[in-house]
Structure 1
Amino acid sequence: MARDRRLPFLRRVTSRDGGGDLDGPRIAAAMDELRSRSRATLHDRMHRVRTAFGLALQAGLAAGLAYLVAHRLLGNPQPVFAPISAVGTLAASVGQRFRRTVELIIGVAVGVLVGDVLIYFLGTGAWQLALVVTSAILLTIFAGGSVAIVIQAAATAVLIVTLTPSTDNLEFPRFIDALIGGTVALVVTAVLLPLNPLRVINRAARPALDLLAEQLDMCAQALRNRDRDTAQRALFRLRENKEELAALSEAIEGAKETITISPARWHRRSELTHYAEAAEPIDRAMRNSGTLIRRSVTMIEDEEPIPEPMPDAVAHLAESVRLLRHEFAMGEEPQRAREHALRAVSEAGRAYTQGVGFSGSVVIAQVRTAASDLMVASGVDQEEANRLVRQSFGVNNQSPATPTPAPTAPPPG
């Protein structure tokens, strides 16, 4: 009987005329989606591992060397703080490690000072610990210390109060260990195991540029099919780009730091300058593309005319982003990326001449603006980029002198 009760859940649903399985295609589609998500998740995880692999090697080497220097060379029998300081320095935001080392040492000094003075007068115990931590935090805040200094001072004060009864002369080794750990971390990043700054940037740029290209492709498809839901999904996904942009900005700052302190990487300064200058226009292209997609959703909702060249313009914009990432990674002059950016503007000009509504005019303006951003990101001067965009747009010079993010009224025509 139990088996019979399970049959309704296992039985295939068939059509009334005895046809095939109706649930099969839906289940298969759901399973395909799950498999696709699993592959995407695994790909994302592996990308994060590859991105962090260099940092993991640096942290491991720095921790081992800091322990070795403090233990073998300086005779500290328990150099716990040296490897902790080394790892703490490397765990700081990339591009702020030198500053992190200075903050680490200042924070330790404050914590040692406050802890030692108060212990001398008050002794040790629970309420003394609370008072020492509070005092260390307030003192560093009053002195204008950063969050890192405040945390380090408080943590050091805790260690001084809790370990002083069982460990003699803790203060000086703690300070020396912090100095050793931070210094070793900088030596590892600058001399022993400096990361390739351009490779770091390429890996960080890939998710941001891939995200932008994919959502522009989705927008182009939505415009061709007048599919409002697809355009809306693209908009939602592009709005979640803060993590990708933050990773790119952090990678650029880290590359700047590496090239500043690492003699082995000084010869890459000119290449890095180009990448650093590309970060801001890429960020602008992201924001302007967000406006483009949002107005595409409105254009579909309002049933405005969508000339055939308009989806092509957005698709060329997506291809320009994709080629920009590829040519950056290959160390090539991004000529093909520039060509597709200008093709996007040319298609937008054709769409404009065929007639668009208010939201359509905004989409066209955003194609121009994003194309100009990509041209600047590729290394073209802003003034030259604007001139090339105007030239490619055509339309008898009826377009604005420079691309505008969102016109307040439909362009004349």
Structure 2
Amino acid sequence: MSAFEESLRTRAGRLRTMARPIVQCALAAALAWVVATQVLGHAAPFFAPIAVVLCIGVGAGRRWRRVLELVAGVSVGVGVGDLLISAIGSGPWQIALVIVLAMSVSVLLDSGALIALQAASSAVLVATLLPPGGTGGIDRMADALLGGLIGLAVIALLPANPAALAARHVRGLLEELGAALETAASALRDRDPALADAALERARAAQRTVDGYSSALQTAHENAALSPLHHRSDLAPYFTAAEPLDHALRNLRVMLRHAVAVIDKGEEVPEMLTEGMAELSRSVARLSEELPQGGALPLTRKALLRTAARLDPAVPPVLGLSAHAVLAQLRSLTVDLLRATGESRPEALSAFPHRRTAAVPESHAC
């Protein structure tokens, strides 16, 4: 597959992921406009659909705070703008003064960036488009509140499945983790430094999947809290796995750096290491399949325990310094993955009963 095709595939996947919030934004914005014009009788309630978009967003997360910041920002901006423009008129220096004061007041009230930006934009609208005085400011505040509440209602009534959202993001993280392990195993078998470097670069780039997973968990938890159709308990396995998978990716990067050094130094690579990597890659794929099912993840645990036994022989092998570091990181990776299945750290460490330091050749000893 070419780079262009891979890029198109990635973009299409991103669009599929965001399809539901996009539709939610569109429907809720239209509804907010209808309610504001037909029920409240506002002639141009532009803050209502804007509030919907800011509330739902394509990134989601912390929606309650976003609604409160939006309403607070509009209130500060409109209030400061109305008071000042009524007294000093409208013009370039008045606009500058209104922005400075509105943003300063909002920062004193709260450190949220949305409050400051919304206060500034609301003040500009008052200073340039809205006549001073009257009920325009109150109408804009009502529109912002209406849009935020409609956005929350649409999220609750047309929710994305929180568990499905978490599963989709963890699948992407695990795909990157498994692919890097498989590539590293091939690189060590073939003693291919370019392939090892490629695996390392892929693991470094995969950090964004961890960040995306964390954000998706936050959004999924919030969706479950807002919607009566889903339960937050369905997300428990995903929260359990989050921190261990983050640690696994970090340990993977360390392991890959040592794998590159193994090839550069020409150290011996026992089959235990390459087969251990390949087995961990298959276990990661199995975890991706089992995690959405919940429960004890027995197949993944069984596979990881087999790998642990391979990486913890009763008689430790003789390894070079870098190969020994690879072995240590593979063991840490196995512990991380066992913890991702729900095992405690002591339980995961018990999979390595020998846990002795592999012997190092005298020529490499410190």
- Name the TM tier (shorter chain): over 0.9
Residues 254-284 of structure 1, C-alpha deviations (whole Å, 9 max, x = no match): 111112221111xx32221221121111110
Cα offset, 1:41, TM superposition: 2.2
1:65 is matched by which residue type in structure 2?
L
Number of the residue aligned with 1:240: 205
Number of the residue aligned with 1:328: 291
Cα offset, 1:40, TM superposition: 2.1
Residues 387-408 of structure 1, C-alpha deviations (whole Å, 9 max, x = no match): 12x13xx4xx5259xxxxxxxx
- Check if 1:287 corresponds to 2:250: yes
Cα–Cα, structure 1 residues 351 and 204, in superposed 2: closer, same or farther, change >3 Å?
Answer: farther
Cα–Cα, structure 1 residues 212 and 411, in superposed 2: closer, same or farther, change >3 Å?
Answer: farther
- Check if 1:317 corresponds to 2:289: no
* 1:219–1:293 contact (8 Å) kept in structure 2: yes
- Check if 1:50 corresponds to 2:13: no
Stretches of structure 1 that go unaligned for 5 or more consecutive residues are 1-34, 401-409
- Check if 1:117 corresponds to 2:80: no
Aligned match of 1:135 in 101, 104, 126?
A: 101
* Partner Cα distance (1:225, 1:373) in 2: 27
Aligned match of 1:398 in 350, 356, 361?
A: 356
* 1:215–1:238 contact (8 Å) kept in structure 2: yes
Number of the residue aligned with 1:376: 339
* 1:352–1:364 contact (8 Å) kept in structure 2: no
- Check if 1:298 corresponds to 2:261: yes
Cα–Cα, structure 1 residues 312 and 132, in superposed 2: closer, same or farther, change >3 Å?
Answer: same
Residues 359-397 of structure 1, C-alpha deviations (whole Å, 9 max, x = no match): 111111111111111111111222211112x13xx4xx5
Aligned residues: 361
Give the 3-state SS of the residue equivalent to 1:354 in structure 2: coil
* Partner Cα distance (2:314, 2:6) in 1: 36
53-62 or 325-334: bigger deviation: 325-334
Aligned match of 2:306 in 343, 351, 374?
A: 343
Higher relative contact order (CA 8 A, sep 6+): 2
* 1:208–1:248 contact (8 Å) kept in structure 2: yes
Number of the residue aligned with 1:223: 188
* 1:361–1:411 contact (8 Å) kept in structure 2: no
Cα offset, 1:93, TM superposition: 4.1
Cα offset, 1:340, TM superposition: 2.7
* Partner Cα distance (2:218, 2:36) in 1: 30
Cα offset, 1:63, TM superposition: 0.6
Cα–Cα, structure 1 residues 227 and 241, in superposed 2: closer, same or farther, change >3 Å?
Answer: same
2:178 is matched by which residue type in structure 1?
A
Number of the residue aligned with 1:361: 324
Give the 3-state SS of the residue equivalent to 1:95 in structure 2: coil
Cα offset, 1:349, TM superposition: 2.7
* 2:82–2:132 contact (8 Å) kept in structure 1: no
Number of the residue aligned with 1:105: 71
Q: Percent identity?
A: 37
1:201 is matched by which residue type in structure 2?
A
* 2:185–2:278 contact (8 Å) kept in structure 1: yes
TM-score under structure 1 length normalisation: 0.83
2:290 is matched by which residue type in structure 1?
E
2:206 is matched by which residue type in structure 1?
N
Aligned match of 2:215 in 219, 229, 250?
A: 250
Aligned match of 1:78 in 41, 44, 64?
A: 44
Cα–Cα, structure 1 residues 92 and 124, in superposed 2: closer, same or farther, change >3 Å?
Answer: farther
Residues 239-265 of structure 1, C-alpha deviations (whole Å, 9 max, x = no match): 112321121111100111112221111
Please give the residue correspondences for 1:7-26 in structure 2 after superposition, counting only pairs within 5 Å: none
TM-score under structure 2 length normalisation: 0.93
Stretches of structure 2 that go unaligned for 5 or more consecutive residues are none
* Partner Cα distance (1:64, 1:399) in 2: 65
* 1:95–1:253 contact (8 Å) kept in structure 2: yes
Cα–Cα, structure 1 residues 39 and 332, in superposed 2: closer, same or farther, change >3 Å?
Answer: farther
Cα offset, 1:183, TM superposition: 0.5
Give the 3-state SS of the residue equivalent to 1:264 in structure 2: coil
Give the 3-state SS of the residue equivalent to 1:349 in structure 2: coil
* 2:240–2:340 contact (8 Å) kept in structure 1: yes
- Check if 1:209 corresponds to 2:167: no
Number of the residue aligned with 1:162: 128
